[in-house]
Amino acid sequence: MAQRKMIVFPTKNEVSEAMAAYTAKLSAKFIKEKGLFTVVLSGGDLIDWLCKLVQPPYIDSIEWSKWHVFWVDERVCAWEDPDSNYKLAMDGFLSKVPIPDKNIYAIDKHSAADGNAEHCAALYEDCLKNLVKEKIIPISKKTGYPEFDLQLLGMGPDGHMASLFPNHPQINEKQKWVTHITDSPKPPPKRITFTLPVINSALYNLMAICDKPQAKSVAEIMKHNNFSLPSAHLSAQVENVWYLDQAAASEL
Ligand SMILES: O=C(O)[C@H](O)[C@@H](O)[C@H](O)[C@H](O)COP(=O)(O)O
């Protein structure tokens, strides 16, 4: 498993530029090697930071038609709900680039609107299993779990990543690929999330953290490897990169 690498940038703007460059480089690499690129998004501020991808030079150089887009976690609510990670990514990023609709794998629309978190998780796992059959997602020989090319993650002030929260049992799930939570400390309470072994089976994981509220958890992870914080468990098969701004790195 890959060692954690950390790079501190002066401001959010440089984090955003570096994320775009990293994503574009991996997009070109995987499309050249296998004709497609699987990208996993999270919610939160990350989507804002991806704005550089919808500007030159990336907007015209990325082969968007070869992208397949997933969510590492999603809030269980209607697609139109302001809480929806799908809506956030659609409005801020995906609607601005020519990725075919069929390559955008959102939470099941009806079950999400009905608020059935457990069912949504099972359906998302089925969706991934079908894509394994269709050879869009390989199963890693090393981990036995699905292998995504790049996952873009954020961390909450409490050290959570995806919807794996401290002192909640979802972090220990090893059988399922996708699980659910109905009492998330970060609203809204109902969510689905990739499980830790699936998150760590990605080839490249990029964790982007900006702003002061996360600084204490960043220090707990970097200085003390405090495994009570879910983000401390992040790994990857090839590269586990953390991009921070000065504010997030201020307690290091
Ligand atoms: O759905 C979610 O809430 C996210 O996927 C979550 O895991 C997020 O990435 C972190 O909470 C960081 O969020 P911020 O960038 O908004 O601080």
SS (H, E, C) 159-213: CCECCECCCCHHHHCCCCCEEEECCCCCCCCCEEEECHHHHHCCCEEEEEECCHH
- pLDDT attached to residue 3: 85
- pLDDT attached to residue 138: 98
* Residue 144: exposure state from Cβ atoms within 10 A (0-12, 13-18, ≥19): exposed
Ligand 1 neighbour 162 (Cβ under 6 A): yes
Q: Is the pLDDT of residue 167 over 90?
A: yes
Ligand 1 neighbour 217 (Cβ under 6 A): no
Interatomic CA distance for residues 16 and 46, integer angstroms: 9
CB-side neighbour CA atoms (13 Å) of 85: 32
Ligand 1 neighbour 157 (Cβ under 6 A): no
Atom number, ligand 1, closest to the C-alpha of residue 154: 9
Residue nearest to atom 2 of ligand 1 (CA): 43
**If you measure from the C-alpha of residue 119 to the centroid of ligand 1, how many angstroms do you get, rounded to a whole number?**
22
Q: Are 38 and 137 in contact (CB under 8 A)?
A: yes
**If you measure from the C-alpha of residue 47 to the centroid of ligand 1, how many angstroms do you get, rounded to a whole number?**
10
Q: Are 166 and 230 in contact (CB under 8 A)?
A: yes
Ligand 1 neighbour 44 (Cβ under 6 A): yes
**Res. 225 pLDDT band, cuts 50 70 90:** very high
Buried b vs exposed e over 210-245: b needs ≥16 C-beta within 10 Å?
Answer: beeebbebbbbbbeeeeeebbbbbbbbbebbbbbbb
Q: What pLDDT, in 10s, does the model give residues 15-74? A: 999 999 999 999 999 999 999 999 999 999 999 999 999 999 999 999 999 999 999 999
Q: Is the pLDDT of residue 75 over 80?
A: yes
Q: What pLDDT, in 10s, does the model give residues 186-204? A: 999 999 999 999 999 999 9
Ligand 1 neighbour 159 (Cβ under 6 A): no
Q: Is the pLDDT of residue 76 over 80?
A: yes
Q: Is the pLDDT of residue 223 over 90?
A: yes
Residue nearest to atom 14 of ligand 1 (CA): 44
* Residue 82: exposure state from Cβ atoms within 10 A (0-12, 13-18, ≥19): exposed
Q: What pLDDT, in 10s, does the model give residues 231-244? A: 999 999 999 999 99
ipTM score of complex: 0.94
Q: What pLDDT, in 10s, does the model give residues 106-162? A: 999 999 999 999 999 999 999 999 999 999 999 999 999 999 999 999 999 999 999
**Res. 2 pLDDT band, cuts 50 70 90:** confident
**If you measure from the C-alpha of residue 45 to the centroid of ligand 1, how many angstroms do you get, rounded to a whole number?**
7
Q: Is the pLDDT of residue 1 over 80?
A: no
Residue nearest to atom 1 of ligand 1 (CA): 43
Query: Which DSSP string corresponds to the chain?
Result: -PPEEEEEESSHHHHHHHHHHHHHHHHHHHHHHHS-EEEEE--TTHHHHGGGGGSTTHHHHS-GGGEEEEESEEESS-TTSTT-HHHHHHHHTGGGS---GGGB-PPPHHHHHHT-HHHHHHHHHHHHHHHHHTTSSPBPTTTSSB--SEEEE-B-TTS-BTTB-TTSGGGG--S-SEEEESS-SSSSS-EEEE-HHHHHTSSEEEEEE-SGGGHHHHHHHHHH--TTSGGGG---SSEEEEEEETTTTTT-
**What letter represents residue 88's amino acid?**
L
Ligand 1 neighbour 41 (Cβ under 6 A): no
